[in-house]
Chains A and B, each alone.
Chain A
Amino acid sequence: MGRERMFNAAMVLALVLVPLWAWMTAEPFIITLATKVAILALAGVGLNIALGLGGLISLGHAAFFGIGGYAMGILASHAQTATPLMEWPFLIEGTNQMPVIWLVAVVASALAALIIGALSLRTSGVYFIMITLAFGQMLFYFAISWSAYGGEDGLSIWVRNEFPGVNTLDPIQFLAICYVILGAVLVFAARLARSPFGLALSAARQTSERVETVGLTPFRLRLTAFVISGAITGLAGALFADLNRFISPTMLSWHTSGEIMVFVILGGVGRLYGPVVGAALYILLEHLLGGVSDYWQVFLGVLLLLIVLFARGGLIGAITGREVAHD
């Protein structure tokens, strides 16, 4: 455990020091990159609960990311035009308050995960991957045709939403918000993995036969994990929309699902900081190599292949060795 702890601490330090340095030298672009890392990492932490702990290979997490994004887009766009979402049977107005937006994003994506999970968790293996993918694509095409909220072109929000007592327009303050959320969710994910539920879920990943024999239903464990996982990824979607002040169907595309999965695999499936490391590496590569060559994703592909073939624990596994079963 020692080495992984140290590695994680180094990661946290880097995530704090780099933007701090950028802030002092007035490099807002670096701060924006760090914010992006934090938000994408958060989406990955969500996926990692389903994928790493539950062994559920979901290729549809863009659905939750997108639902979180559209929750923000819809609420904020109504707030900026001062038109209610609906008036009947009761009045619902838009809002530009982040806490409310987050709550709506979390509840909406959890609900979507409950429905998608209840249907797709009856299958397993390749079928599960395909069904989650299909649900994601369904939402993607729905968003494209949803002209009220920009359809294919997406929707811009002119001003970043507000958080009481914080100037969210200041990049470093918005970054702080994202860090606090990521930190809180990491603590939650760590505790979840160590909880009774985490043990049972992890057992269901390894042998569902055994789990049934001790009187637990794997389906229920997996569905619960899927809902928690979707809710976290949905929250990340809302933050991502606020970072860009823009939403579009791209957030819902299977390409986005693939990217979130890439973060997790790069950093290390089932490792607490796996998605953080993965997202940081991804953004770093995109930033460094993207300038050199338009084909930077080819390098990413090679790296991914090497990790899948030779380092099952991702970058964290390669550096810190096999995970020690917790005690």
Chain B
Amino acid sequence: MTEPVLRVQNICKSFGALKASDDVSLDLYPGEIHALIGPNGAGKSTLIKQICGGLMPDSGRIEVLGRDVTTLDTVARARMGLGRTFQISSLAMEFTVLQNAVLGALGARGKAFRFFGNVMKDETLLAPARRALERVGLEEDASRRTADLSHGQRRQLEVAVALTLEPRLFLLDEPMAGLGGGGSKALTAFLDELRHEAPILLVEHDMDAVFALADRISVLVYGKVIATGTAEDIRANAEVRRAYLGEEDAA
């Protein structure tokens, strides 16, 4: 049996009386897309934040590539190979699209403490940045100001920046939001391939994408994982239908 790339064990996190993570365990294996679904406020983004190091769990343990990272900070975990996208875009809005991608390439290659040379002429950074933009379909927009991008394009750029890091695993928080039908189809096809480069923990509300892509699905409700399994398992699960998918059918 291969080792999981990511292993979350019994994570608990409360905000006052609210249990945002209630004994959450899940793992991510090489080559896999593991989707994390659940209603709004279920605690999906909170879990991603704890995996990335932006938020300390109250208890529990997080392992990345077999190493306990529970006490490491965001920077150390990023260096280990976490490629994360934010649900609410966190990009340098004054930068061009290309500059944001170059920033990723720069961070991943540890070149931030170079004080000379034009960073936007450095081919070792430009090449991976351009390639990442191309892969998400933003190459035409490379010289646009990030603040001028549409919501969907910002989501694409989030993914592109994560690509420049050449991470060991991806944590994507609702990458499809705001993309529109064509865009999410293209991204679905892209993620389908991407899983072979590095496994993906995918938080997504777009059920078509989730059921098309996920090898496994975990359902989070009120901070608790109520079910984990293949798409068929989840579709057939009565509790899931009641708690979550039922709402979708009704809508």
Contacts and interface: CB of A to CB of B under 8 A. Distances in A.
A327 B143 contact: yes
A210 B108 contact: no
B106 A200 contact: yes
Contacts of B37: none
A68 interface: no
B51 to A, nearest CB: 12
Contacts of A207: 90-93
Contacts of B128: none
Given A212-B74, A214-B103, A326-B120, A196 B114 contact: yes
Contacts of B103: 199-200, 203, 210-211, 214
Interface string A245-287: 0000000000000000000000000000000000000000000
Interface string A176-207: 00000000000000011011111110110011
B215 interface: no
A213 interface: yes
Chain A contact residues, majority secondary structure? helix
Contacts, number: 105
B75 A194 contact: no
Interface in A286-324: none
Interface centre among A200, A212, A326, by most chain B C-beta atoms within 10 angstroms, is A212
B95 to A, nearest CB: 6
A17 B54 CA distance: 55
B93 A196 contact: no
B114 A214 contact: no
Interface string A210-243: 1111111100010010000000000000000000
Contacts of A195: 114-119
Interface in B116-157: 116-120, 122, 125, 143, 145
Nearest to B117: A195
Interface centre among B86, B114, B115, B161, by most chain A C-beta atoms within 10 angstroms, is B115
Contacts of A217: 75
Contact of B112 (A191, A209, A216, A327): A216
Contacts of A194: 118-120
B106 A206 contact: no
B112 A221 contact: yes
Contacts of B111: 196
B102 A199 contact: yes
B104 interface: yes
B17 to A, nearest CB: 27
A91 interface: no
A195 B99 CA distance: 12
B195 interface: no
B99 A325 contact: yes
Contact of A214 (B54, B94, B98, B108): B108
Interface centre among B104, B107, B143, by most chain A C-beta atoms within 10 angstroms, is B107
Interface in B14-33: none
Contacts of A215: 75, 78-79, 107-108, 110, 165
Nearest to A325: B96
A213 B74 contact: yes
Given A214-B161, A215-B78, A327-B143, A224 B93 contact: no
19 contacts: A195-B116, A196-B119, A197-B112, A198-B119, A199-B99, A199-B119, A200-B103, A200-B107, A202-B95, A203-B103, A206-B95, A209-B90, A212-B73, A213-B86, A214-B78, A214-B108, A214-B161, A217-B75, A327-B96
Given A199-B103, A202-B92, 9 more contacts: A195-B116, A196-B106, A196-B117, A203-B103, A213-B86, A214-B78, A214-B107, A214-B108, A216-B107
Interface of B: 52, 54, 73-75, 78-79, 84, 86, 90-96, 98-99, 102-104, 106-108, 110-120, 122, 125, 143, 145, 161, 164-165
